[in-house]
Amino acid sequence: MNKLANTLLSIENGEFTESELVSILVLIVSEINIDTVSGMSRTENKTPRGIRISNQYLKVKVGSQTMVVKGIRENNLPF
């Protein structure tokens, strides 16, 4: 957890360049099951509304797009 805290603080304090942040983002996206609401509903054979109201997926706003992370419950993060 100490490494995570240090990394998050470094990001918050602007210690990474935009290029480094994009590299981190690309690595993270390749490691987690994240998709748009529509994409996740097609993958899971559910309706988009079912995905939106379910607490089995974390919903994160990225720009103007709502992204859904499978495997993380809605209120399970420390922040």
Q: Is the pLDDT of residue 77 over 70?
A: no
Residues 14, 40 share a domain:
no
Would the CA dihedral through 9, 68, 28, 63 be positive or negative? negative
Q: Across residues 43-62, what is the average pLDDT?
A: 94
Residue 52: domain span: 33-74
pLDDT band, residue 73 (cuts 50/70/90):
confident
| Number of domains within the chain | 2
User: Which pTM was predicted?
Assistant: 0.77
Residues 37, 70 share a domain:
yes
Q: Across residues 14-42, what is the average pLDDT?
A: 96
Residues 24, 10 share a domain:
yes
Residues 37, 27 share a domain:
no
Strand runs labelled E in 1-79: 34-36, 57-62, 65-70
Q: Is residue 79 part of a domain?
A: no
Q: Is residue 68 part of a domain?
A: yes
Q: Is residue 14 part of a domain?
A: yes
